[in-house]
Amino acid sequence: MGRIRLLSETVASQVAAGEVVERPASVVKELVENSLDAGARDIDIAIRRGGISLVRVIDNGCGMDRNDALLSLERHATSKIRSAADLQAIATLGFRGEAVPSIASVSRFRVSTREAGAIAGTEIVVNGGKIDVVRDGGEAPGTQVEVRSLFYNLPARRKFLRSENTESRNIEHQIHLQAIGHPEIGFSLMRDDRIVFQLPATTTLGDRIRDLYGVELLQRLVEVNGTASAKIQISGFIGQAGLSRQTRSQQLVFVNGRAIESNVITGAVREGYHTALMKGQYPVTFLFVELDPAAVDVNVHPAKREVRFREPKGVREAVVRCIQRTLEHARANWQEKFSAPIRPAPAAADSVKATGDLSLRSEVTAPEVTHRELPHLGAPAGVADPGRAESEIPGQAPRLPERHFDSAAVVASALQSQEHVTKAAQQQFEIIGVLSKLYVLMENANGLVLVDQHAAHERVLFEELRRRMEQQGVPTQKLLLPQTFDVPPRDADWIEQNLSVLQRMGIGIESFGPDTFKIDSLPSFLDVSDAAQFMRKVIDDLKSASNNASAMRLGEEMIAKTVCRHAVKANDPLRYPEVEKLIRDLLDCDLPYCCPHGRPTMIQISLAELEKKFGRKI
Ligand SMILES: Nc1ncnc2c1ncn2[C@@H]1O[C@H](COP(=O)(O)OP(=O)(O)OP(=O)(O)O)[C@@H](O)[C@H]1O
Ligand SMILES: [Mg+2]
């Protein structure tokens, strides 16, 4: 007797549902996509108990007549494609005619829908895939779908669901994706009868990002410079260099309006950020890639979460270039803040008088030629003790020596190239002092800037090293006495393999017997006293960076970063001219606002923020 049997329609739907409906968030995704495809202007979503007890989506889209409403519950029934050829160029979010029947087969399902202008609507109730009720419905034009008791008839599936909180978070993320992808549509979300957000329809993506994530995030984003390529357009916003997250939750990528996960694109974004991204962190992106629908296959993933590009290489290159260009542009904008004049001096002097002798800058002294230690605000004098700091009377406030660095002439003597002089002359900032031997405090046109001296130094060294390596000429300095040092055999292998890279970096290192090396020179801008110790530290660091044998294949970039990190000395108090030069060099870097490892080098605190904090402005 034959053993093969055709599955009933209901069981077949449940099997299909296994792929399409993984969890409550997939229900939300499919229903919202249907609403978007139906041309809705507003979509209201309500969930209860992580969407397990209820998901309801109400839209004001085109609605369906009774026949269509019944058909929508059949498998492979869709209004969106007709022939296989249509699969080549899909312009809607749905196309398989699978979602509605799949969801209806694993829940208690109700749809109520009405076309605009129709006298009556239709209400259909389905339980576990079986139609129970079909009757006239009286809702407003559009479609309402309610999905209750998800997986009530598939207990095995239900067991795989996570906590209500986790499921809710997944749903919220899903709606964030849709809301960012469609700023022109109004969205609202109710969770367990409480409003989570209400997003009015807006005309710009920026407004939507602000409404959803707040103005603070928006301010740290840069608008992508649209690429001019005819084949592929890229737009949206990305995080400034130095802005990153520990998860992928704000790494949003859309291809032709569809939120997707794509290794091709995320890899390209990472490459575009290059050293502007902290290791192990994820960038913040709201990236929209548009290309000919025929150049993308969207029919490759059961939940339509991934796509395949016909020319992945072209897409990759376009994204890398676009990210690089955007970050470069952002840098130019940032520099502008340093080139605007700081508030006029007389006004500042007036306010000094008005507040007695409270000012930290009572006078402007001429630039000194001799080196002088910078003031350290974090001196042990009880500054860390808030009580004491507060009780300090104005006349006794600690006074900092005052310096102005806005004269181009001062810099001119220190800098060689004419180009440097012009650039530097444009950069207006004023160093106030150094906090805790580490943070340089300065004022620019926008307010207060805090610079992490070490991170800044690393960035400057790194870019210099990279530039010199490209030009094949890292100037070196001979050590007074060549040093030899032993390393364990594994480390020796590593050094052997990377000898040429190290040499190109200006490190004069060569084999000197088994597991022994000799160093006789170092790059002259590295101020290192013990070359052998320095090399050991670099190697240790590189080993721990990758923690396995692939350390042997670490790129030259990585080696350069590590060399620079160890070249910067901790708690090395800099002097005025050094700090000033450091800041100018930093501002001249390609990516001034983060160190080679992606940590921020500087933080801007705007005057507006200060006013808010001090309650001057609400
Ligand atoms: N909210 C809605 N408003 C109007 N029509 C809808 C709505 N939801 C579904 N439909 C209709 O029902 C059909 C079936 O929906 P379903 O989601 O099952 O398939 P699909 O969207 O065509 O493809 P996919 O399975 O890829 O989502 C749709 O093609 C559409 O015509
Ligand atoms: Mg659909």
Question: Looking at the predicted structure, is the pLDDT value of residue 424 above 90?
Answer: no
DSSP 8-state class, residue 286: E
Average pLDDT over residues 232-236: 94
Summarize pLDDT for 315-374 with one digit per residue, the tens. 999 999 999 999 888 877 776 777 665 654 444 334 333 333 333 333 333 333 334 444
Distance (Å) from CA 31 to ligand 2 centroid: 7
Mapping DSSP to helix (H, G, I), strand (E, B) and coil, where does residue 148 land?
strand
Sign of CA dihedral 265, 269, 272, 274: negative
Range scoring the smallest mean pLDDT among 35-39, 134-138, 389-393? 389-393
Measured distance CA(321)–CA(420) in Å, rounded: 27
Average pLDDT over residues 572-595: 83
Ramachandran bin of 184, using left for φ above 0, alpha for ψ from -120 to 50, beta for the remaining angles = alpha
For residues 183 and 10, which has the higher predicted lDDT (pLDDT)? 183
Summarize pLDDT for 168-220 with one digit per residue, the tens. 999 999 999 999 999 999 999 999 999 999 999 999 999 999 999 988 889 88
Range scoring the smallest mean pLDDT among 268-282, 314-328, 368-382? 368-382
Element (H, E) at 12: helix 9-20
Residues of the chain with pLDDT > 70, as a percent, come to: 81
Range scoring the smallest mean pLDDT among 145-149, 484-488, 493-497? 493-497
Provide the residue type at 296 as one letter.
V
Distance (Å) from CA 165 to ligand 1 centroid: 28
Spatial neighbors of 214 by CB under 8 A, at least 6 apart, are none
Spatial neighbors of 265 by CB under 8 A, at least 6 apart, are 253, 255, 287, 289, 315, 316, 319
CA distances from 570 to 256, 415, 464, 584 (A): 49, 26, 20, 21
Question: Looking at the predicted structure, is the pLDDT value of residue 63 above 50?
Answer: yes
Predicted local confidence at residue 358, as pLDDT: 35
Q: CA triplet 61, 81, 139: central angle to 5 degrees?
A: 20
Q: Which ligand is in closest contact with the Cα of 100?
A: 1
φ/ψ of residue 58, rounded to 5: -115, 130
Residue of 19, 32, 37, 45 to test ligand 1 pocket, by largest number of atoms within 8 Å of CB: 37
Range scoring the smallest mean pLDDT among 67-71, 107-111, 205-209, 521-525? 521-525
Q: Which ligand is in closest contact with the Cα of 304?
A: 1
Cα 143 to the chain's mean position, in Å?
A: 36
Distance (Å) from CA 33 to ligand 1 centroid: 8
Question: Looking at the predicted structure, is the pLDDT value of residue 261 above 60?
Answer: yes
Provide the residue type at 88 as one letter.
Q
Average pLDDT over residues 403-414: 35
Number of alpha carbons in the 13 Å side-chain half-sphere of residue 553: 3
Average pLDDT over residues 157-164: 88
Predicted local confidence at residue 228, as pLDDT: 60
Mapping DSSP to helix (H, G, I), strand (E, B) and coil, where does residue 570 land?
coil
Polymer length of the chain: 618
Average pLDDT over residues 607-618: 85
Question: Looking at the predicted structure, is the pLDDT value of residue 394 above 50?
Answer: no
Q: What are the pocket residues of ligand 1 if the criterion is a CB atom closer than 6 Å to any ligand atom?
A: 30, 34-35, 38, 59, 61-64, 72, 77-80, 94-100, 143
Distance (Å) from CA 78 to ligand 1 centroid: 6
Distance (Å) from CA 76 to ligand 1 centroid: 10
For residues 319 and 438, which has the higher predicted lDDT (pLDDT)? 319
Most confident of 497-501, 511-515, 561-565: 511-515
Spatial neighbors of 406 by CB under 8 A, at least 6 apart, are 342, 428, 429, 430
Mean pLDDT, rounded, of the chain: 80
Place of tokens 């930290």: 360
Summarize pLDDT for 551-573 with one digit per residue, the tens. 344 566 777 777 777 777 656 67
The closest of 185, 157, 189 to 170, measured between CA atoms, is 189
Predicted local confidence at residue 570, as pLDDT: 58
Residue of 21, 27, 32, 34 to test ligand 1 pocket, by largest number of atoms within 8 Å of CB: 34
Predicted local confidence at residue 354, as pLDDT: 36
Predicted local confidence at residue 373, as pLDDT: 44
